[in-house]
Structure 1
Amino acid sequence: MTTPANKNDPRVKRTRQLLLQAFISLLEERRNIHSISVQDIAERATVNRATFYAHFEDKYALLEIWMREKFHHALESQLPATSTLQRSTLRLLIFAVFDFLALWHYHLKPADRQFVPFFEVALQQELQEVLLSWLNQVPSSVPVCQEEVETTAQVISWAIFGPAIQWSRGDRAITRDTMAHYVLAIVIAGLSPVTTVTL
């Protein structure tokens, strides 16, 4: 069995980035993930197949990372660099999620629709990590265990992500700002048991 690569090693980071760039360039050329093989990705990155598999389980793992990175950059571009858990940053986060999903659905190609559930899970997990990092930085109103904090981040991420997905797929009769207002109220209520921050 292959020993998992140490993701913090600079050489590992470089190799992973090479593989990701190779995958993205092939995807842009062919516009169809089915026509891209692991061998194609390895050759484009100038590594061998064994190196690929030391870093990623398969090409779909690369696809997930690519989507999560795009989503992460989109969130970063909308949020202040020093964002913490506050009403204002939660509102900006909700806006960013709604905007990203609306744009993503607009550009979604028919051939990619089969990957929508896969993408959605990857994006929700990225959102969950953002919320978890914020929650881990604030004091709680009562002693809470890490599992409760993690569960809260998971639930809140879906409370944001679920309505954003439905809105981006629909006719958007309700404006983004109105939807965000409703979602924010639910999110704040859901966060109250685990934080003393006044939201």
Structure 2
Amino acid sequence: MVNQEDPRVVRTRQLIREAFRELLQHKGFDAITIKDIAQRATINRATFYVHYEDKYALLDEIIEQAFVKMIPGQVTNAQEFTDEICSQLILMTYSYIVDFYQICRMDSKSIATLVDSKIKKMLRQIIEDIFLKGDDRQQARMVSAMTASAIYSAAYDWLIFGESDRPDLLVDIVRPYVMNGLGLHRN
């Protein structure tokens, strides 16, 4: 087993992630091979496999690390789902989608599906953690699934069809629907 805290391991994983990100900007996900990643990272293929099972595991880690870095402390420490928390989640999700889709060539359905699925899952977990502080587990799970889907779908649709330079307007449109649906909207 690889010692994840060994500086050489940390550096090698960083090289692999950077190489993969660079390749995503120039090549479609489906066209990227482990050989491509290894060559760009100046390692051999065997070394890649010591660190990652495949390019899907690498993509999963990159998505998660980037998303977690964007979570505001106020959201992480939230005791209840408020208008402000909802607004922050909408903006954070939209920003993540914009950043990811600008960095990567999203000409592949497979990568878009993987990214969308991973983001929805993480967003759902954040919301569920907030709801679990006050509700029963089953209700928290269902409500967080619906809320995460609404936020993600609206943010994604805004990128594709909306006024992408107006995330504030996105929040003004989406937050009331989410909060009213939860019975939490305050006038």
**TM-score, normalized by the shorter chain, greater than 0.5:** yes
Q: Choose 159-168 or 172-181, whichever is displaced more.
A: 172-181
The CA deviation string for residues 121-155 of structure 1, in whole angstroms up to 9 with x for no partner, is 11111111111111122x23xxx3x2321121111
The letter for the 1-side match of 2:70 is A
Please, which runs of 5 or more residues in structure 1 have no aligned partner? none
Matching of residues 131-150 of structure 1 within 5 Å: 131-137=127-133, 139-140=134-135, 144=136, 146-150=137-141
| 2: CA distance, partners of 1:48 / 1:168 | 34
What is the percentage of aligned positions where both structures have the same residue? 12
Q: Choose 19-28 or 86-95, whichever is displaced more.
A: 19-28
Residue 36 of structure 1 is matched in structure 2 by 33
Residue 14 of structure 2 is matched in structure 1 by 21
Q: Structure 1 residues 46, 95: closer, same or farther in 2, change over 3 A? A: same
One of 174, 184, 193 as aligned partner of 2:175: 184
| 2: CA distance, partners of 1:64 / 1:16 | 18
Q: Choose 122-131 or 26-35, whichever is displaced more.
A: 26-35
Q: Structure 1 residues 58, 94: closer, same or farther in 2, change over 3 A? A: same
Count of matched residue positions in the alignment of Structure 1 and Structure 2? 177
- TM-score normalised by L of structure 2: 0.72
The letter for the 1-side match of 2:93 is V
Q: Structure 1 residues 127, 44: closer, same or farther in 2, change over 3 A? A: farther
Q: Structure 1 residues 42, 173: closer, same or farther in 2, change over 3 A? A: closer
Q: Structure 1 residues 161, 173: closer, same or farther in 2, change over 3 A? A: closer
One of 128, 144, 156 as aligned partner of 1:165: 156
Please, which runs of 5 or more residues in structure 2 have no aligned partner? none
Q: Structure 1 residues 184, 47: closer, same or farther in 2, change over 3 A? A: same
One of 120, 123, 132 as aligned partner of 2:119: 123
- The CA RMSD over aligned residues, in Å, is 3.7
- Contact 1:68–1:122 (8 Å) recurs in 2: yes
- Contact 1:159–1:187 (8 Å) recurs in 2: yes
- Contact 1:22–1:44 (8 Å) recurs in 2: no
The letter for the 2-side match of 1:102 is V
- Contact 2:131–2:144 (8 Å) recurs in 1: yes
Paired residue secondary structure (2:173):
helix
